[in-house]
């Protein structure tokens, strides 16, 4: 049975397109160029900050966020940045009586911003708040603890086979891979994705899949 479901944030419930565009503008790079370099970095399996370092050597995210805030151009997101299927999916899963959480690599401001959106979730965990980042096993240990302690009853949903699916599975959780962010389309690791309980293109698919899974095991 699936008793708890945790979602990655960026690329899973949050469309990062506008956020990436603001970073391209901040770095003074054409948006198309920034996207192309970002895609190349993903295809090569590089850290997500590497594209930033191409245009700004020595790029440090925390320091750059402070510079943006001081310049009156802070990184932010809101209701308009949620994928259209995110809110309804979370609500549907809560209506099934499931424990629902968010757990992703996010900076300091994200947890407060996510809480302000009033999503149907029981817990929100971020790498900044927890002091540990994916794909570290310690991050997924925190997810298991937050979800009640039984890894086998938790489903983790994410768009990255490397940062989300593989480490969540290694922690004993069931996994769901959603294909829609850049990693979901570019990074293909069949040995990982084929081990997922579910593979979906939209969160609209998930509530019925979970309900069917639990009904078959109830």
Does residue 153 carry a pLDDT above 80? yes
User: pLDDT at position 7, please?
Assistant: 98
Prediction pTM value: 0.93
For residue 195, give its domain range: 4-15+79-217
> What SS3 state is found at 125?
strand
Closest CA to 178 of 8, 3, 1: 8
Using pLDDT thresholds of 50, 70 and 90, give the confidence band for residue 5: very high
Same domain, 65 and 91: no
Same domain, 124 and 201: yes
The arithmetic mean of pLDDT across residues 26-45, rounded, is 94
Same domain, 29 and 102: no
Same domain, 63 and 23: yes
Using pLDDT thresholds of 50, 70 and 90, give the confidence band for residue 6: very high
Give the tens place of pLDDT for each residue, 194-217. 999 999 999 999 999 999 999 998
Residues 6+ apart with CB under 8 A from 185: 179
The arithmetic mean of pLDDT across residues 68-87, rounded, is 93
Same domain, 150 and 64: no
Same domain, 179 and 196: yes
Using pLDDT thresholds of 50, 70 and 90, give the confidence band for residue 75: confident
Same domain, 106 and 184: yes
Give the tens place of pLDDT for each residue, 85-126. 999 999 999 999 999 999 999 988 889 999 999 999 999 999
User: pLDDT at position 121, please?
Assistant: 98
Does residue 71 carry a pLDDT above 90? yes
Residue 59 phi/psi, 5° resolution?
-50, 130
> Please, which residues bridge with residue 102 across strands?
7, 124
Same domain, 83 and 47: no
User: pLDDT at position 108, please?
Assistant: 80
Does residue 18 carry a pLDDT above 90? yes
Using pLDDT thresholds of 50, 70 and 90, give the confidence band for residue 61: confident
Same domain, 61 and 143: no
How far is Cα 164 from Cα 42, in angstroms, rounded to an integer? 14
Same domain, 144 and 194: yes
Does residue 67 carry a pLDDT above 90? yes
CATH no. for residue 104? 3.40.50.1000
How far is Cα 165 from Cα 175, in angstroms, rounded to an integer? 6
Number of domains observed in the structure of the chain = 2
* Mean pLDDT estimate for the chain: 94
| Cβ atoms < 10 Å from Cβ of 160 | 27
Using pLDDT thresholds of 50, 70 and 90, give the confidence band for residue 161: very high
Same domain, 127 and 170: yes
Same domain, 101 and 10: yes
């Amino acid at each position: 049975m699936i008793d708890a479901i945790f979602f990655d944030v960026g690329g899973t419930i949050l469309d990062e397109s506008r956020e990436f565009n603001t970073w391209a503008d901040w770095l003074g790079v054409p948006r198309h160029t920034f996207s192309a370099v970002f895609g190349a970095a993903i295809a090569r399996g590089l850290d997500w900050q590497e594209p930033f370092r191409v245009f700004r050597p020595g790029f440090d995210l925390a320091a750059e966020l402070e510079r943006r805030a001081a310049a009156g151009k802070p990184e932010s997101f809101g209701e308009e940045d949620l994928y259209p299927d995110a809110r309804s999916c979370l609500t549907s899963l809560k209506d099934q009586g499931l424990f629902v959480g968010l757990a992703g690599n996010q900076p300091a401001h994200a947890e407060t911003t996510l809480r302000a959106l009033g999503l149907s979730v029981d817990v929100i965990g971020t790498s900044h708040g927890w002091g540990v980042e994916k794909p570290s096993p310690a991050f997924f240990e925190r997810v298991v603890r937050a979800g009640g302690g039984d890894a086998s009853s938790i489903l983790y949903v994410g768009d990255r086979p490397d940062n989300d699916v593989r480490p969540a599975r290694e922690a004993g959780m069931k996994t769901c891979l959603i294909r829609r962010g850049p990693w979901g389309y570019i990074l293909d690791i069949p040995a990982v994705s084929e081990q997922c309980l579910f593979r979906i293109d939209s969160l609209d698919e998930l509530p019925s899949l979970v309900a069917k899974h639990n009904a078959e095991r109830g």
